[in-house]
Amino acid sequence: MNEDTKNQGLLGAVDHFGIVDEKYMVISGWAVNVSDGLTAEKVFLANKDNQIIAECISDVLRPDLPDKKGFCFKVTAETILLNSNDSIKVYIYDQGKYFLINEKKINRTVDGQKKYWNKYLGIDPPMKMYEKYKTCKFIDSMAVFSAASTTVVCCDGPWEPECSTRRIVGEITTNQPFPIKELLLKRKEMIDKNKIGVFDGCRGCSLLREKYYIGSKYLLTNVNLSHYFTCNLKCKFCFTSMESYVRPIDTPGELMVQSIKYLLENEILDPNGNIDIAGGEPALMSHVHEFFAVLDDYNVSVNVCTNGAIFSQPIYNYLKQNPQKTILMISADSAVPQTYEEMKGVNCCDKVWENIKKYSTATNLKDRLKIKMIITDDNVNEVKEFIDKVESCGLNTVVVDFDRMIHDDERSPKIYQAIKLFVKYAREKNMTCLFGHEKVGFILETMDK
């Protein structure tokens, strides 16, 4: 990029240059061409070598100043923080000219994780600030509570056909609320192996990516509760329903509640973090009351994933009392009773949709309820009916996914076409359409090219 330093025709300023949280930076301001008083065409963000790393138009409403127009970048910190003392530059562009309006040195050297590694293992973290390493959200900042009183560091299911199922970390017992030392040791093993090759359990996993380590304030930002496998349905596509699957013994609910309390009280889990409740079926989970009571003093968000076949009063009440920090995702999968039974093994389709309507009365924030459809060969022709049914319940957020137990190359093209139709039809109805897994969006994008 050639900068036009003499150009006086362009004027602009960066008003806000902030680190939003551990992940995001927001840079916003205004930019005009003084000769005509109009906003400049575009604004660019560049690194110290003048390589463009982001661009945006300069006539958007700014979230930090809602009545003002200007430019606003929201970029992940790792996109721009290449080294601890790198700088980033903001350019405005108009009529073929670039004009530098701001340059800022970034210096972030604080690594909050260090204190946990020092305290529990007596070593520094295996990853260094601003260095690239192969990781995923689980290795970075998650813990999964799995069945049989164990926690695991990784996804608690064979989401990728290539990677192995569990990496067991350690036991939760009444005397040990959380195996933090073992979790760190497992992370170290995975990070060290992924540095020189691939940790065996991660081989082939699409979530394993190279990224810059930019430090974090807490050891855990996300906890996944999959510590029990009891379920009232038998979905064909769910690994817990497979004949070969040996169902582990559920972890007692009181141990899980004790652990969550410990993690929050000892500032191991981010008080503004997130807890996913999966399972099994959360409506059957024991100690739900106690679990929600622990969360009352913190700002932790909760994502509950339920099949919706049993109405849970505690879940309803929590959503009603804490709509800002609760999301309820209901895996309905079909709106046609016959297909529903074929896919999910039980004849309770009408009950599920009745319960969806009931849950929808908990809050006016309709984006707090998401209705999910996994598209398989069974329901591939029912996309529109499904979305119409969601709309008839007064809801506007849908989630689409494919059966992740099937290899990408083995899925029929009809499924991808149906997902495309799902997205298109939902958008035509002004609904928010989300992907159950980032891979869905990625595959759709490559199909369009």
Ligand X SMILES: C[S@@+](CC[C@H](N)C(=O)[O-])C[C@H]1O[C@@H](n2cnc3c(N)ncnc32)[C@H](O)[C@@H]1O
Going by DSSP bridges, is the β-strand pair 87-94/38-39 parallel, antiparallel, or unpaired? Answer: unpaired
Residue 219 phi, psi (nearest 5): -70, -40
Radius of gyration of the chain (CA): 24
Q: How far is the CB of 324 from ligand X (least distance, A)?
A: 22
Angle at 27 between CA 24 and CA 94, to 5 degrees: 135
User: Residue 200: which residues within 8 A CB-CB, separation 6 or more?
Assistant: 164, 193
Interface with ligand SF4, residue 154, by CB under 6 A: yes
Q: Binding to ligand X (CB under 6 A): which residues in 277-296?
A: 278-279, 281
Q: How far is the CB of 186 from ligand SF4 (least distance, A)?
A: 10
Stretch of 311-319, 378-386, 398-406, 408-416 contacting ligand X, by CB under 6 A: 398-406
Among residues 126, 404, 418, 440, which is the contact residue for ligand X, using CB under 6 A?
A: 404
Q: How far is the CB of 75 from ligand X (least distance, A)?
A: 30
Q: How far is the CB of 318 from ligand X (least distance, A)?
A: 16
User: What, of ligand SF4, ligand X, none, does residue 136 touch, CB below 5 to 8 Å by kind?
Assistant: ligand SF4
Among residues 56, 147, 268, 305, which is the contact residue for ligand X, using CB under 6 A?
A: 305
Interface with ligand SF4, residue 169, by CB under 6 A: no
Omega prior to 280 cis, within 30 of 0: yes
Q: Are 34 and 10 in contact (CB under 8 A)?
A: yes
User: What, of ligand SF4, ligand X, none, does residue 139 touch, CB below 5 to 8 Å by kind?
Assistant: ligand SF4
Tokens at residue 200, please?
Answer: 């065996």
Q: What contacts 24+ positions apart, CB below 8 Å, involve 340-347?
A: 342/236, 342/378, 343/235, 343/236, 343/237, 343/376, 343/378, 343/379, 344/233, 344/234, 344/235, 344/236, 344/307, 345/233, 345/234, 345/235, 345/236, 345/241, 346/232, 346/233, 346/234, 346/309
Interface map 180-219 toward ligand SF4 (x if CB under 6 A)? ---------------------xx--x-xx-----------
Name the site residues for ligand X (rule: CB under 6 A).
231, 237-238, 278-279, 281, 305-307, 331, 372, 374, 401, 403-405, 436
Interface residues with ligand SF4 (CB under 6 A)?
136, 138-139, 154-155, 163, 201-202, 205, 207-208, 231, 233-235, 238, 240-241, 279-281, 307, 331
